[in-house]
Amino acid sequence: MGSLMSITLEAANLYYRKQYRSAIKLLNSHFDSVTDKNDLAQFHTNYAMNYEKLKDIENCNHHCEEAVRLCHFGTYVYKRLIINYVKAKEWGNALRICDIALDKINRSKQLEKENRSNIGYMGTPLHWGNFDLYIDKRREFILKKIKEEQ
């Protein structure tokens, strides 16, 4: 297990085998060797997934926020943060994440229109699918809640 890719894959395998603490331990043992921004974002995403299953929402949110800060392209971290912030009634944070995700989606679509390369982590195309529809619905709900509390 030499490469960071093999480490994230092994962490993913541990996750799917419900060995969440072992996955975190594996990630911890290699975290300091991560230098690439995309690899680091993927490490944070793996951490978040495992902490979510351990019901450690504080650490889950921390690692999701770090992945967002590093401009991670997967939908998991955005969706997880929105869900967690809505459950905690942290409307401002939930709205902030919706806006960040929508901005990324819009920029991605703009790149496609300009016929630029739309390549993300590990060279995979960025396809947000209908994620913008999910974000729009959540954003509408959050704005409604903010208005109710005013």
Q: What would the pLDDT profile of 49-58 be if each residue is shown by its tens digit? A: 999 999 999 9
Q: Is the pLDDT of residue 150 over 90?
A: no
29 and 95: one domain? no
* Cβ atoms 45, 73 nearer than 8 A: no
57 and 91: one domain? no
80 and 66: one domain? no
Q: What would the pLDDT profile of 54-87 be if each residue is shown by its tens digit? A: 999 999 999 999 999 998 878 999 999 999 999 9
Paired strand residues for 125: 119
Domain end (from 72, 99, 123): 72
Q: What would the pLDDT profile of 94-127 be if each residue is shown by its tens digit? A: 999 999 999 988 887 777 677 555 555 444 345 6
140 and 90: one domain? yes
27 and 86: one domain? no
Write out the residue range of the structural domain in which residue 39 sits: 1-72
Label residue 19 left, alpha or beta by phi (over 0 means left) and psi (-120 to 50 means alpha).
Answer: beta
Kindly report the CATH number assigned to the domain that includes residue 40.
1.25.40
Which one is predicted more confidently, 124 or 143?
143
48 and 67: one domain? yes
82 HSE (CA, 13 A, CB side): 24
pTM for this one?
A: 0.87
Residue 116, pLDDT score? 56
Domain end (from 28, 56, 72): 72
Residue 127, pLDDT score? 60
Q: How confident is the model at residue 25 (pLDDT cuts 50, 70, 90)?
A: very high
29 and 90: one domain? no
Percent of the chain exceeding pLDDT 90 equals: 71
Q: How far is 97 from 64, CA to CA, in rounded Å?
A: 10
Q: Is the pLDDT of residue 31 over 90?
A: yes
Measured between its terminal Cα atoms, the distance across the chain in Å is 54
Other C-beta atoms lying within 10 Å of the C-beta of residue 18: 10
Residue 3, pLDDT score? 78
Domain end (from 51, 72, 93): 72
Domain count, the chain: 2
